[in-house]
């Protein structure tokens, strides 16, 4: 038997080791981007998440006005962190539509009481069905929906101060 053949297993293993080392050194990107960007909003109709604020349906979009669609929940801590930025966006003239994920009306009411209500409408998505159908895999996420009801832009994670102008710019582009 050729002696070098005995080193084939070692060579294969070295290959794996190199690959694994390279991959471990790479920052792991856990963000899942929506495959729905550039496509129209799917059909849906969600009941109100809290008394006094209307529910959300897909027909609310596509009337020529671009809007922000914010996926959030009262139980989500980063959502508290982004509440001031949502207020800033609203003050800058953006219309924000909320979808509350797996939430209870009394919790939603308490959250709005405490952190303010930037939302024009809030729908209740108890089973994450609408969330999944627009390609969102977590809370909070914010989508820009253009005047024709097409999903244009996705922001994953909480909105920081530096993200506000970006979102406003995306809204302007979506007109």
Partner 1 sequence: MIAELGLAALWLAFALCVLQLGAAIAGGREQGAVLAAIVRPAAIVQGLLCGIAFLMLLWVFAITDLSVGLVAANSHSAKPMIFKLAGAWGNHEGSMLLWVTVMALAGALIAGLERRLPENMMRATLGAQSFVALGFYAFLIFSSNPFARLAQPAPEGAGLNPLLQDIGLALHPPVLYFGYVGLSVAFSFAVGALLTRQVNPDFARVTRPWVLAAWICLTLGITAGSYWAYYELGWGGWWFWDPVENASLMPWLAATALLHSIGVLAARDALRAWTILLGVIAFSMSMLGTFLVRSGILTSVHAFAVDPERGAFILFLLGVYIGGALLLFGLRAGAVAEGERFAATSKEGALVFNNVMLCAILGIVLLGTLYPLLTEAFDVRVSVGPDYFNPVSAIFVVPMLIVMAIGPLLRWRRDSLERIARPAALLTAVALVVLGFVALLFEVSFLALLGLALSAALALASFMPLRGRRLARVPMSVWGMVVAHFGIAVALFGMASESAFTVERLAAVEAGATTSVGPWQVRLDSVEPVAGPNWTALEARLSARTSERGAPTVLTPQSRNFWAPSQATTESALATRWNGQLYAVIGNQTDDGRWQLRLWWKPFVTFIWYGGILVALGGGLAIAGRVRSDLRRRIVGRRMAERRADEAHLEEAAA
Can you give the binding site for partner 1, defined by CB under 8 A? 1, 3, 6-7, 9-10, 13-14, 16-17, 19-24, 26, 28, 127
Q: Please, which residue, 20 or 173, has the CB nearer to partner 1?
A: 20
Report in angstroms how near the CB of residue 133 gets to partner 1 at its nearest.
Answer: 16
**Pairwise CA distance, residues 71 & 61, whole Å:** 15
Q: Please, which residue, 14 or 173, has the CB nearer to partner 1?
A: 14
- What tokens does 39 get? 């496509």
Residues in the chain: 175
Residue of 79, 80, 81 whose CA lies nearest to 138? 79
**Pairwise CA distance, residues 164 & 115, whole Å:** 18
Report in angstroms how near the CB of residue 157 gets to partner 1 at its nearest.
Answer: 18
Report in angstroms how near the CB of residue 8 gets to partner 1 at its nearest.
Answer: 8
Q: Please, which residue, 130 or 159, has the CB nearer to partner 1?
A: 130
**Pairwise CA distance, residues 57 & 38, whole Å:** 19
Report in angstroms how near the CB of residue 6 gets to partner 1 at its nearest.
Answer: 4
């Amino acid at each position: 038997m050729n002696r070098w053949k005995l080193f084939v297993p070692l060579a294969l293993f070295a290959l794996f080791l190199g690959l694994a080392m390279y991959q471990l050194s790479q920052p792991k990107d856990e963000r899942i981007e929506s495959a729905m960007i550039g496509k129209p909003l799917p059909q849906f109709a969600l009941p109100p998440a809290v008394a006094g604020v209307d529910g959300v349906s897909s027909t609310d979009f596509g009337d020529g006005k671009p809007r922000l669609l914010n996926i959030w929940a009262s139980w989500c801590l980063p959502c508290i962190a982004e509440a001031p930025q949502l207020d800033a966006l609203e003050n800058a003239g953006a219309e924000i539509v909320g979808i509350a994920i797996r939430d209870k009306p009394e919790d939603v009411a308490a959250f709005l009481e405490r952190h303010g209500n930037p939302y024009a409408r809030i729908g209740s998505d108890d089973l994450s069905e609408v969330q999944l159908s627009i390609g969102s895999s977590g809370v909070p996420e914010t989508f820009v929906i253009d005047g024709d009801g097409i999903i244009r832009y996705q922001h994953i994670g909480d909105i920081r101060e530096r993200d506000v102008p970006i979102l406003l710019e995306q809204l302007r582009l979506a007109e």
